[in-house]
Structure 1
Amino acid sequence: MPSQIYLGFIRLPLLLRTFIIAISSIIIFGIIVHFIEPDSFPTIFDGIWWAIITASTVGYGDFFPSSIFGRLAGILLILSSAGFLSSFFVALATTAATRQNDYLEGKAIFRGKNHYIIVGWNERSKEVVQSLLIKQKTVSITLIDASLTKNPLPNHNIHFVKGVANQDSTLLQANIENATKVIITADTNLGEMQADMNSILTLLAVKGLNPNVETIIEILTNDQIANAKRAGADEIIQTNILTSFVIHQSINSQDMVTSFLDLLYQLSEEKITFKEADIDELNKDYTSLGMKYLEEGMTLLGVKRGGATILNPPKPFAIEKKDQLILIT
């Protein structure tokens, strides 16, 4: 039995072991000095108080031993407990510094819930993070990246995890099981096909650990769109299509490109929402419904019906059940 207690004590963390030894010594010497000099230390608490003050080398002087045996107890207390107490505070400071370094270097586990996970640190993910921090001040964000050496935004509500996102250990460190949304950006340091395969592999790992989490994935090549859908992507962002459109339009008309980009900037400052059609809006004409929302200060851009997005639908166009209205509020 004593050997089992000893082995269990040895397995405790160093910080906890040091604290237990220091506190036990202080209590024991406090009790001893009470029985040695009951006149100088009327209660056990007075003895423990004196032991704490003596071991911490503060020395208030409100209680002190006057006999030889009492002073010998004080000497033994200083030689034993003071060292353990100092070691405890040193270990405590070291543990705090190590924990802080773990957070900065991406080694700490994220223990929050309902957070966003962003995979990859680049200009696109940087803009997404900054936008989320401005518009949703209470949101928690976990960033996964293998190339960074430390948290790029240590003064913000960003938890950094250093690692490869398609590995289970990395995703579990980011607490994927309790995440609300995962945004997977393409690694532009790789070729387009390799970047897409890497993103899809990450998507498969994410869905394997949390099938219900909402996922947004950036795909660079058209050939991999079907694979991303098969892997369970909820939203697919084709950044190359937008880039190709802007370049193509700039060849024909610079004014059109400028207006298009201005529109995108303005939309980024507003809020585009998807609203399911109300019961009283069913079977109503799209044009009359658009006028109604204009009077309320909103603009009806189009309708999302199933997997199709219909902008400026042809007349006549009636709203059906489960249609989602695309509005600028």
Structure 2
Amino acid sequence: MLQQFYFKFVEAPTLLRIFSMAIFFIIFFGITIHFIEPQTFPTIFEGIWWAVVTASTVGFGDYAPKTVPGRILGIGLIFIGAGFLSAYFIRLATTTVASQNALKEGKTMYAQKNHLVIVGWNERSKEIIDQLQEMTIPRQIVLIDDSLKANPYTSRIVHFIQGAPYKDETLKKANVKEANMVLITADQNKNEVYADMNSILTLVAMKGCRPDLYCVVEILTKEQVINAQRAGANEVIETNRHASSIMLNSLYFDGISSTVIHLLDPLNGGHLKILSTKEEWSHLSFGQLAPLLLQEQTLLIGIQREEKTYINPPFEFPIQRADELLIIQR
């Protein structure tokens, strides 16, 4: 039994072992001084009180040994007890600093749930994080990146994890199994083909960790969109295609790029959403439903039916129960 206790003590954290030894010596010296000088220390508690203030080098002076054996015991307590207490507080300070450094350097596991995981540090992810923090209901964010050496934010608005996003160790630290959603951005340090390959590899790792996790992935090349969908992406953001469409429209309509950005910016009060069709709307046409939604400050701009999206269809376009409505809502 003593051997089992010894092994448990040895395997315990260093901070706990030092603290336990300091408490043991304080109680031992407190009880011993009570039996050596029962008149000066009439109770065991007063002996322990003296041991505490002596070991901590406070020395209130309300209790002090009178005999030579008692003073020798006090000298031993100062050398032994104070040494252990000093070591304890030094170790405590060292552990605190190490914990803060580990948190800053992305080595600490995230323990909460229902958070947003963002993979990759770049101007796009920075803009997303900044805008999320300005919203009325900010989200808990975990940032994964293997190129950063420290958390890019000085304040604790994101939990940083340093490491490759396709490794199990990194995913465990980010607590991906308890996450609400994942956004995978393209690696800006690689060319487009390798960046897409890296994004799909990360997507496969995420889905392998939790198959029902909602994953949004950024793909740069058109050829890799189908592979991202095969890998299980819930949404694929074709950055180059979207940017090209805005540029093309800017060639024909002056100022359209700033208008589109303003429209898509959720901080401006307008949100581009997809709304499921209600049962009572299924017999209406696009022209009949649009004014009904407009009364609720909801602008109907299109219909999404299966794999096709109809933007501003004819007024007589029929609404079906399985349709999804593309709207702008405050």
TM over 0.5, shorter chain: yes
How far apart are the structure 2 equivalents of 1:125 and 1:148? 13
User: Is 2:259 the partner of 1:262?
Assistant: yes
CA distance in 1, matches of 2:226, 2:292: 38
* Distance (Å, rounded) in 2 between the aligned partners of 1:68 and 1:307: 94
Please give the residue correspondences for 1:75-94 in structure 2 after superposition, counting only pairs within 5 Å: 75-94=75-94
Residue in 1 that maps onto 2:43: 43
Query: What one-letter code is carried by the residue in structure 2 that aligns with 1:81?
Result: G
Which residue does the alignment assign to 1:151? 151
Contact 1:113 1:179 in 2 (8 A): yes
CA deviations 1:137-196 (Å, max 9, x no partner) are 442111111111100013032011111111111111111110111100011221111111
Provide the C-alpha distance between the structure 2 equivalents of 1:153 and 1:193, rounded to a whole number of angstroms: 30
CA distance in 1, matches of 2:323, 2:130: 32
RMSD: 1.6
User: Relative to structure 2, which stretch is displaced further, 66-75 or 314-323?
Assistant: 314-323
Select between 128-137 and 92-101 the one with higher mean Cα deviation. 128-137
Contact 1:246 1:257 in 2 (8 A): no
Give the Cα separation in 1 of the matches to 2:12 and 2:301: 63
Runs of 4+ in 1 over 4 A off after TM superposition: none
Count of residues in correspondence between the two structures: 326
Structure 2: any 5+ residue segments left out of the alignment?
none
Percent identity over the alignment? 44
Q: Secondary structure at the match of 1:237?
A: strand
Q: Is the 8 A contact 2:246 2:256 kept in 1?
A: no
Does residue 173 (structure 1) correspond to residue 179 (structure 2)? The answer is no
Pair 1:236-2:236 in alignment: yes
Counterpart in the other structure of 1:183: 183
How many Å apart are 1:35 and its aligned residue?
Answer: 2.0
Note the C-alpha offset of 1:65.
1.9
Cα distance in 1 between the residues matched to 2:313 and 2:177: 40
Letter in 2 for 1:261: S
Give 1:214's aligned residue: 214
CA–CA separation in structure 2 for the residues paired with 1:235 and 1:95 = 43
Asked if 2 retains the 8 angstrom alpha-carbon contact of 1:18 and 1:88, the reply is: yes
Cα distance in 2, alignment partners of residues 176 and 280 from structure 1: 40
- Partners of 2:182 and 2:213 within 8 A in 1: yes
Matched, 1:247 2:247: yes
- CA shift, 1:135, in A, is 1.3
Structure 2 CA distance for aligned equivalents of residues 44 and 265 of structure 1:
75
How do 1:1-329 and structure 2 match up within 5 A? 1-135=1-135, 137-250=137-250, 252-253=251-252, 256-268=253-265, 269=268, 270-329=270-329
After superposition, the Cα gap between the structure-2 partners of 1:295 and 1:48, relative to the gap in structure 1 and judged at 3 Å, is same
Cα distance in 1, alignment partners of residues 327 and 42 from structure 2 = 78
Shift, 1:15, TM fit: 0.9
SS in structure 1 of the partner of residue 255 of structure 2: helix
What residue identity is the alignment partner of 1:68?
A: V
The 10-residue stretch of structure 1 (148-157 or 42-51) with the greater mean CA deviation from structure 2: 42-51
* CA 1:188–1:302: 2 relative to 1, 3 Å: same
Q: CA deviation at 1:63?
A: 2.1
SS at match of 1:69: helix
- TM-score of the superposition, structure 1-length normalised? 0.94
Q: How many angstroms apart in 2 are the aligned matches of 1:92 and 1:2? A: 28
* Contact 1:55–1:82, Cα closer than 8 Å, also in 2: yes
* CA-to-aligned-CA distance 1:218-268 (integer Å, 9 cap, x gap): 001111111000000000000111222233344x33xx2522322322431
Give the TM-score, by structure 2 length: 0.94
SS in 2 for 1:22: helix
Query: SS of the counterpart of 1:172?
Result: helix
